[in-house]
Amino acid sequence: MKLLRQRYGGGPGQLLATIACFAIAGAAVVGWSQRHKDFEAVLIWFAAAIVLHDLVLLPLYSLLDRVTVARLPAQAAAYVRVPALICGLVLLAVFPTVLGFGAHTAQHASGVTEHGYLARWLALTGVVFLISGLAYVISGRRSESASVAE
C-alpha cells in the first residue's frame, strides 16, 4: 500500500475509481461506434465541446467582463454584471430558439409558426436590468442615508 502511494501517487480508492471510469467510457465507445459515420461526429463534438468552452467561450466572456468592469464605476459594476450574467446564461441555453435556428424543424413538427422569440428575450433582459437598476438606486439611497446618520 505504501509502495502504491510512493510510485503511483494515490490511494487504492482513487485507482479503482479512475479504472471504473475508463471501463465505462470504453463500453460507451463500443456503443457509440455501432454507427461508424456517427462515431466520428460524436468524437468531434465531444472534443470540440471541451476546447470551445475552455479555450474560446470562457476567455471571451472573461475578456468582455473585464473590459466592461473597467469602464464602470466600482459601486455600479455588480448591478451590471449580475443582470448580464443572468441574461447571458439564459441566452446560452435558448439561443437556438431565440435566433430561430430550430424554427423550420419546429414548424414542421408542430404545424405552427411562432415569431418574436428575440423580442421576448430582449424584453426579459430589459426587465432584469430594470430590477437591477432599481436595486442600485435603492442601495445608493441607503448608503446615503447611512452616511447622513453618521
- Which of positions 67-106 make contact with another protein (CB under 8 A)? 69, 72, 74, 77-78, 81-83, 85-90, 92-94, 96-98, 101-103, 105-106
Contact criterion met (CB below 8 Å) for 66 and 72: no
Q: How many CB atoms lie within 10 A of CB 5?
A: 11
Select from 1, 50, 126, 139 the one that contacts another protein (CB under 8 A).
Answer: 50
Of 69 and 133, the one with the shorter C-beta distance to another protein is 69
64 binds another protein (CB under 8 A): no
What value does the CA radius of gyration of the chain take, rounded to a whole number of Å? 25
Cell of 112: 405552427
53 binds another protein (CB under 8 A): yes
Cell of 27: 463500453
Cell of 74: 466600482
138 binds another protein (CB under 8 A): no
